[in-house]
A = this chain, B = another copy of it.
Amino acid sequence: MSDIITSLKNPSDEEVRAVDAWWRANNYLTVGQIYLKSNPLLREPLEASDIKPRLLGHWGTSPGLSLIYAHASRLIQKTGQEMIYITGPGHGGPAIVAATYLENTYTESFPHVTQDTPGLETLFRQFSAPGGIPSHASVTTPGSINEGGELGYALVHAFGAVFDNPDLIALSVVGDGEAETGPLEGSWKSISFLNPARDGAVLPVLHLNGAKIASPTVQGRKDPEEVRKLYEGHGYEVLEVEGDDLPGMHYRFAETLGTAYERIKEIQDDARTNGVVAGERPRWPMIILRSPKGWTGPDVVDGVQVAGTWRSHQVPLSGVRENPDHLKILEDWMKSYRPEELFDESGMPTDIVRSINPEGDLRMSAHPAGNGGGEYRALDMPNWRDFTIDFAPAERGTFRAESTRKLGEFLEEIYRRNPETFRLFCPDETNSNRLGAVFNASDRMTMEAVTDDDEKLSPDGRVMEVLSEHLTHGWLEGYNLTGRHGLFASYEAFGMVSVSQTVQHTKWLEEAIELDWRVPVPSFNILLSSTCWRNDHNGFSHQGPGVLSTIVNMRGNIVRTYLPPDANCLLEVSAYTHDTKNRVNVIVQDKQPQFQWLTPDEAEAHCRKGFGIWDWAGNEDPESGEDPDIVIACAGDVVTMEAVAAAQILRQQLPSLKIRVVNVVRLQTLSRPKDHPTGMTDQDFAEMFTNTQDVLFCFHGYAGVIHQLVHGRPDVDRFHVRGFREEGTTTTPFDMVVRNGIDRYSLVIDALNNTKRTVRGAADLKRWCTKQLDRHHEYKVEHLEDMPEITDWVFEA
């Protein structure tokens, strides 16, 4: 090995010529994609008519991206190392597309983009064009698992990709623009969670080319000594390469990359031979590459410096169709790469160019890790029925249990059965969310020191806890996209912190399922626990059900939302969601003790359908053939309890009023089938909600979600939705529902106000409910001990 590394660090002149040829070819193809729609090899004099009508793309970062790519390919060739390439500056898409084209992976994925002159023309024309391909290193780019559109996730995706992937190195390029984002800055600490024996490695390349779209970057202008200290402080060994001299940069970058690789292998060999010790986190290498923005591009245009400045960020020559001077500069620029050496007569890349490509799956654009692991592998799933709470139907609603604690036991068994392909990702709240049983199967992960006071904490741990939604979310994305399974569990309100990641990952999947060569990936599963209703103790900042309002707008073929009302339903839903592919599944359920409603059999039937009438909670006579006076619907655990309790009051006090209780677990079944693939049929909808009667809908989140979902159903004016109306503070659970008008007493009043039929005794009952509410409002600070908390209420059939 040491011989190989020595030769890796000391490339021969011939090797450098080959790397340089590949690099020139890539740069040529990058410029071609941005500018040309014909004459791709400039075998005719360049004319204005060869130029695309609309010039799009980002040149500035591209030469750096392709330089790194070329040298990484050489490394793979020499070492057989498995590697993927994560493009932080995703807008350098043309460079990455060019790389995959040179590697032939692009043609394998899109056979119409052939390895010849017509194929080159297609490659150029399609870039950033309608009906063509996006301008980013997006899902259509073979080997990509990071779009780089919304910046900040290049590192966190890389780390997620290498967890439990011991043979893989994720080479992750971080642009100096992206380096300014919070999520990226927070990602460096991922090495505190990376086990060098069990996990693969991330090689970060911080590419400082100094400029963003219109101004310099912070790190591009910081004292290099200070930058070095920053990354040493993050725990890395910093290797630096700087310059724009050629071929000198090739020799220096090869040496640096070889050194980084040598360090990685040393770290891994040591760990895999001698074991891993808490508190002895390796000093992983990283590379800082300083090269000019728009390197090898136009130097001075119209008397203004372009190369090396922010003016190279996008399209450095914008007037080529109108301005013959610019056209000439473009032609000279493209010819400076000497395309005649790079593409043969037919337009195929020449041998010297192709000589840099690794073989088969070792090409970074073809590595299975960049495509869901190469094939979809299901989890070895335990039977959720082995973890249920068993009780007789007569016991329903008479006892409470922490539903997520049962989920924890289920996850524990999933951990045991899938020791390399399943992880829980949670911002320091695994115990708080009652999922602590997983610690019977696996510790929390840390590479930092462990003391006697710590519990369930070690480098062997595979439960991922760090106080960052961005990190935990992003790690799981990387883990998923490389074919492994997991669960992201967060406080409901703080699901909003990373909701843009949820949106972006959903968009990724929305595009991925359109590509037949992309294998399915495990679904991204989210558990939002510690919900708005039961963050009574933590206060208003912790009370926000906004994730549901965001996620229901995404495409229905990807997104599913679940609101299980109890433990058995949560188990069914969890088992189901972990068995799906290419989805974003959002489960919302609180961690506090809550009533248990459905036996395992009932839960199975109810959750598979996704909705159903709870006949035991209502009092209609199904034989009568008559619609009930009112439907009380509910979706969400706490509001279901209030709905059932309200129905009980109505049943007991006004038995002549006919009540139906409908519970909805799969929220999007409320949609019409044309709006969501799980939407219930018109007939099912009518069977649940009638076509004419008023529906009092008790919803976990903001009411607008239900208005949106039932839109288009018959006479939606009759839906009276009650939900979280943004009223909260530090208070009691019951006060939370009172404040939002969704407590049992308010619901009874509400139901009576919205029932068309006048029932004798209704006025009395409303007065009684009002009195209960008045009594509640009288208490508070003065009567801490006696706050009505409905703790003694139980369900009565």
Q: Which residues of A contact B (CB under 8 A)?
A: 37, 52-54, 56, 90-91, 122, 125-126, 128-136, 138, 147, 149-152, 177-178, 180-187, 189, 192, 212-218, 221-222, 226-235, 279, 305, 308-311, 428-432, 444, 446, 448-451, 453-455, 457, 465-468, 470-471, 493-494, 496-497, 499-500, 503-504, 507, 510-511, 537-542, 544, 546, 549-550, 552-555, 702-705, 707-709, 711-712, 714-717, 721, 726, 729-732, 735, 779-781, 784-785, 787
- Complex Cα distance, B308 from A151, in Å, reads 38
- Complex Cα distance, B53 from A779, in Å, reads 14
Given the contacts A702-B553, A717-B717, A730-B56, A233 and B235 also touching, CB distance less than 8 Å? no
**CB <8 Å contact, B214 and A503:** no
Query: Using Cβ atoms and an 8 Å threshold, which residues of chain B touch A310?
Result: 453
**CB <8 Å contact, B553 and A546:** yes
- Complex Cα distance, B136 from A182, in Å, reads 24
**CB <8 Å contact, A215 and B444:** yes
- Main SS class of interface, A: loop
Query: Using Cβ atoms and an 8 Å threshold, which residues of chain B touch A185?
Result: 182, 185-186
**CB <8 Å contact, A129 and B780:** yes
- Complex Cα distance, B457 from A218, in Å, reads 12
- Complex Cα distance, B54 from A494, in Å, reads 24
**CB <8 Å contact, A552 and B704:** yes
**CB <8 Å contact, A496 and B499:** yes
- Complex Cα distance, B543 from A507, in Å, reads 10
**CB <8 Å contact, B449 and A221:** yes
Given the contacts A130-B735, A453-B305, A496 and B500 also touching, CB distance less than 8 Å? yes
**Contact among B192, B214, B305 with A428 in the assembled complex (CB-CB below 8 Å):** B214
- Complex Cα distance, B537 from A91, in Å, reads 11
**CB <8 Å contact, B218 and A147:** no
Q: Which one of A444, A465, A539, A708 has the greatest number of beta carbons of chain B within 10 Å?
A: A539
- Complex Cα distance, B129 from A726, in Å, reads 19
A-B contact pairs, 11 of them (CB 8 A): A54-B732, A130-B784, A131-B781, A182-B187, A213-B431, A213-B432, A214-B431, A228-B233, A229-B229, A499-B546, A504-B541
For residue A151, which residue of chain B has the nearest CB?
A: B467
**Contact among B136, B230, B467, B714 with A233 in the assembled complex (CB-CB below 8 Å):** B230
For residue A177, which residue of chain B has the nearest CB?
A: B467
- Complex Cα distance, B125 from A90, in Å, reads 55
- Complex Cα distance, B126 from A731, in Å, reads 10
For residue A156, which residue of chain B has the nearest CB?
A: B182
**CB <8 Å contact, B430 and A214:** yes
- Complex Cα distance, B53 from A53, in Å, reads 72
Query: Using Cβ atoms and an 8 Å threshold, which residues of chain B touch A311?
Result: 453
- Complex Cα distance, B310 from A91, in Å, reads 43
Query: Using Cβ atoms and an 8 Å threshold, which residues of chain B touch A232?
Result: 226, 229, 233
Query: Using Cβ atoms and an 8 Å threshold, which residues of chain B touch A712?
Result: 717
Query: Using Cβ atoms and an 8 Å threshold, which residues of chain B touch A708?
Result: 703-704, 707-708
- Complex Cα distance, B539 from A90, in Å, reads 11
Given the contacts A178-B467, A787-B130, A511 and B540 also touching, CB distance less than 8 Å? yes
- Complex Cα distance, B256 from A103, in Å, reads 59
Query: Using Cβ atoms and an 8 Å threshold, which residues of chain B touch A467?
Result: 151, 177-178, 180-181, 212, 217
For residue A474, which residue of chain B has the nearest CB?
A: B182
**CB <8 Å contact, A780 and B131:** yes
Query: Using Cβ atoms and an 8 Å threshold, which residues of chain B touch A468?
Result: 180-182
Q: In the A-B complex, list the 7 residue pairs whose CB atoms are closest, starting with the nearest.
A: A230-B233, A149-B541, A131-B780, A182-B186, A704-B708, A221-B448, A229-B233
**CB <8 Å contact, B453 and A309:** yes
**CB <8 Å contact, B134 and A730:** yes
**CB <8 Å contact, B135 and A730:** yes
- Complex Cα distance, B709 from A149, in Å, reads 31
**CB <8 Å contact, A731 and B229:** no
**CB <8 Å contact, A215 and B465:** yes
Query: Using Cβ atoms and an 8 Å threshold, which residues of chain B touch A444?
Result: 215
**Contact among B499, B553, B716, B730 with A499 in the assembled complex (CB-CB below 8 Å):** B499
**CB <8 Å contact, B539 and A135:** yes
- Complex Cα distance, B538 from A784, in Å, reads 57
**Contact among B233, B428, B493, B781 with A212 in the assembled complex (CB-CB below 8 Å):** B428
**CB <8 Å contact, B726 and A554:** yes
**CB <8 Å contact, A221 and B429:** no
For residue A553, which residue of chain B has the nearest CB?
A: B702
